[in-house]
Amino acid sequence: MPVTRRLAISLYRHPRVALLLLLAPPLLWLGVVYLGSLSSLVVQSFFSLDGFTGQVVRRFTLATYRDLLTPANMDIVMRTAGMAAAVTLAAAVAAFPLAYYMARYASPRGKAALYLAVLLPLWSSYLVRVFSWKLILAKEGILNWTVQRLALGGALDWLLGLPVIGGPSLSVSLLGMFVVFLYVWLPYMILPVEAALERIPESFLEASADLGARPGQTFRQVILPLALPGVIAGSIFTFSLTLGDFIVPYALGNSALFIGQAVLAHQGTSGNIPLAAAFTVVPMVIMAFYLLAAKRTGAFDAL
Amino acid sequence: MPSRTAPGPHQARASFGLKAATLAVLLYLHLPLAIIILYAFTTEDAAFTFPPPGLTLDWFGVAWRRSDIWAALSLSLRVATATTGVALLLGTLAAAAVHRAKFFGRETISFLVILPIALPGIITGIALRSAISLLNIPFSLWTIVIGHATFCVVVVYNNVLARFRRTAASQVEASMDLGASPFETFRYIVLPSIATALLAGGMLAFALSFDEIIVTTFTAGQQETLPIWIFTQLTKPRQRPVTNIAAIFVIAATMVPILLAHRLTEGSGGRAGR
């Protein structure tokens, strides 16, 4: 009997060994390289930077977290979390019409086409899609041109004049950033909401109507609660992705930093890896709580 | 998926408002890419005046002669190819392990595979970066590939696992019983049954890797992939349309594989969703 065959037979008899052989490479990669890096990151957040030498002191300390809690840094955290919340809410609202149309009205062919129309922007060219808004929001660009044509210049100026979200132009303001975040993450919300809506049996809606509910009531009391797990599943993506992004704030923001930019700045120019690490622990903790809360609502079944 | 019953009489057709809102969202999702294409032809060097003052094809020639673009493109292609290879190997192995046995920690493997794409990319990026600097590893093609493969394993894993679940294990046993060597069984039974899933997963991994920027920023050091090149151009108001041409290339290089992968897995249980 050739040796490979004897090997195959013994592997068949010892499934544990076969399993171990299959698992070893992916486990080494994800378990050791990836989880190892993640833990080294958390460990580094408990180191500190020596202010004089600029070297990282490898001794346990909470000093870096004290730095993180200074008002300036907490501003960054709150600004990012606020943006993530706003983008998530807006995505939930904006996702509904398309998701509802897909789930209830589109023909099978139309549905397949719409599905692809949502899937493509979700998968492809993230950076390019952010870049496109640089062109759209530019002062001389298409958005301003349209606004002037529609004689809405006054309204836009008023919006940009608002405190906090306003700015000199849409291409450097929180408002513009919000539009772009919504644009890049919206597909992540549409798909789970559509899946949740599709699972609502038609008979529920008929029963609701038969019992005398107006369409608005049916929507609020039947459709919305049943779609909620889908919304929560989608919100995990929109929230988490906004928390960790630095491309959009870099491309369209002003001097007000976001968590991602702070991480990049601290690990890069100032070489303060402990503080950068402490900054990334923030989205990790926020997302851990978020996921726990989401799990309780049963959102994972809608993923 | 339960078959859809006919809509009730109260809602046989979508209202005008719903159709309008659906169309508006679709336009919002897709018009911006048209703008990118439009501005690749503008005659302006440094601004994005709308409508463009004139149209020209000159920028394609300019882009063709820019050696920095070619260098970035070549690096991106090499990274995406290597990443696809690693992701195919690791994703298939993990899927095979999870499929063939119920073992302690099976859920953990699924979780571990999904984690890199569920956590914000910046966490993966800085984690790898800090490990790289702790271990004093010099930046190279492979530091980028390590970062990319980490979050690309999941797409291969998903596709192959879905395919394994629809393939009967008895075929493999029959092949072995009939005297095929392990290699023959793999070549003639296992590989054909998962081939399209591998192809689909591989193409998704390629597309994901080709336009990734967040993790790459941390693991590339001084090297420039095509997305990083585009990113650095954002602050340079010179030869702007050349950036658009590179952007068009990224759109094509990511959309075409995704469309093909979608075709391959259509109605077959493989998932193109994350």
Per-residue pLDDT tens for A165-176?
777 778 888 888
**Sheet strands (E) in B2-58:** none
> In this complex, do B113 and A116 lie within 8 Å of one another by their Cβ atoms?
no
Pick B145 or A19 by higher pLDDT: B145
Residue B16 in contact with partner chain A when CB distance is under 8 A: no
Q: What is the CATH number of the domain that holds B183?
A: 1.10.3720.10
Q: What is the pLDDT of residue B64?
A: 87
Q: Is A34's CB within 8 Å of B259's CB?
A: no
Residue B24 counted as domain residue: no
Residue B50 contacts residue B34 (beta carbons within 8 Å): no
CA distance B162 to B42: 46
pLDDT class for B10, splitting at 50, 70, 90? very low
pLDDT reported for residue A298: 64
- Phi, then psi, of A49 in degrees rounded to 5: -100, 130
Question: Could you tell me if residue B233 is inside a domain?
Answer: yes
B196 in a structural domain: yes
Task: Give the model's confidence band at B267: pLDDT under 50 very low, under 70 low, under 90 confident, else very high.
Answer: low
Residue at A35: amino acid letter: L
Q: In the predicted model, what is the mean pLDDT of residues A267-284? A: 84
Q: Is residue B40 part of a domain?
A: no
Asked if B160 and B95 touch (Cβ cutoff 8 Å), the reply is yes
- pTM of the predicted model as reported, rounded to 2 decimal places: 0.86
Task: List phi, psi (to 5°) of B212.
Answer: -70, 140
A255: tokens are 């001097």
pLDDT mean over B6-11: 46
Nearest CA in chain A to B272: A119
Average pLDDT over residues A75-81: 92
Q: Would you state the structure tokens that stand for residue A216, as one six-digit string?
A: 């608005």
What is the arithmetic mean of pLDDT over B16-21?
Answer: 90
Supply the DSSP symbol for A48: E
Mean pLDDT of A265-274: 80
DSSP structural state of residue B13: S
User: Using 50, 70 and 90 to split pLDDT, how confident is the model at A300?
Assistant: low
Q: What is the pLDDT of residue A19?
A: 80
Contact A128 B33 (CB under 8 A): yes
pLDDT for res B7: 45
pLDDT band at B45 (very low <50, low <70, confident <90, very high): confident
The region, left, alpha or beta by phi > 0 then psi within -120 to 50, assigned to residue A196 is: alpha
Q: Check: CB of residue A138 under 8 Å from CB of residue A171.
A: yes
A186·B28 Cβ contact <8 A: yes
pLDDT at B92: 92
A219 touches chain B (CB under 8 A): no
The burial of A69, by beta-carbon neighbours within 10 Å (0-12 exposed, 13-18 middle, 19 or more buried), is given as exposed
**Given CB atoms, is B260 within the 8 Å cutoff of chain A?**
no
Mean pLDDT of A203-230: 88
For the record, the structure tokens of B194 come out as 């998962």
Average pLDDT over residues B103-114: 77
pLDDT above 60: residue B272? no
Share of chain A above pLDDT 70, in %: 97
Q: pLDDT tens, B141-200?
A: 999 999 999 989 999 998 898 888 887 778 888 888 888 877 788 888 888 888 889 999
**Residue B12's pLDDT band (cuts 50, 70, 90):** low
Gap between the Cα atoms of A128 and A146, Å rounded: 22
pLDDT for residue B88: 95
Cβ B47–A138 below 8 Å, yes or no? yes
Residues in chain B with CB shorter than 8 Å from the CB of A217 are none
Is B21 part of a structural domain of the chain? Answer: no
ipTM above 0.85, yes or no: no
Long-range CB contacts for residues A144-153, cutoff 8 Å, separation at least 24: A144/A170, A144/B50, A145/B50, A145/B51
B156 lies in which domain range?
67-268
Band (pLDDT 50/70/90 cuts) for residue A150 is confident
User: To the nearest whole number, what is the mean pLDDT of chain B?
Assistant: 84
What pLDDT, on the 0 to 100 scale, is given for residue B21?
Answer: 92
B208 in any annotated domain: yes
Does the structure show a pLDDT above 60 at B82?
A: yes
Dihedral of alpha carbons A64, A66, A68, A70, sign:
negative
Query: Per-residue confidence at B2, pLDDT binned at 50, 70, 90?
Result: very low
The number of domains in chain B is 1
Whole-angstrom distance, CA of residue B49 vs CA of residue B42: 9
User: Does pLDDT of B22 surpass 80?
Assistant: yes
Answer whether residue B258 is part of any domain: yes
- Residue-level pLDDT at B271: 44
Task: Indicate whether A53 pLDDT > 80.
Answer: no
Residue range B55-79, pLDDT digits in tens: 888 888 888 888 888 999 999 999 9
How high is the mean pLDDT of chain A?
A: 86
Percentage of chain B exceeding pLDDT 90: 26
> According to the model, what pLDDT value does residue A25 have?
87
Residue B15 lies in a domain: no
Q: Answer whether A119 sits within 8 Å of B182, measured CB to CB.
A: no
Which of A6, A11, A27, A30 to mutate against chain B (most B CBs within 10 Å)? Answer: A30
The answer to whether the CB atoms of A29 and B134 lie below 8 A apart is: no
Instruction: Please tell me which of the candidates B14, B24, B124 has its beta carbon nearest to residue A105.
Output: B14
| CA dihedral (B191, B192, B198, B203) positive or negative | positive
Residue A122 has pLDDT above 90, yes or no: no
**B32 interfaces chain A, CB cutoff of 8 Å:** yes
Residue type, A127: L
Q: pLDDT band for position A303 (50/70/90)?
A: low
Confidence grade of residue B6 (pLDDT, cut at 50, 70, 90): very low
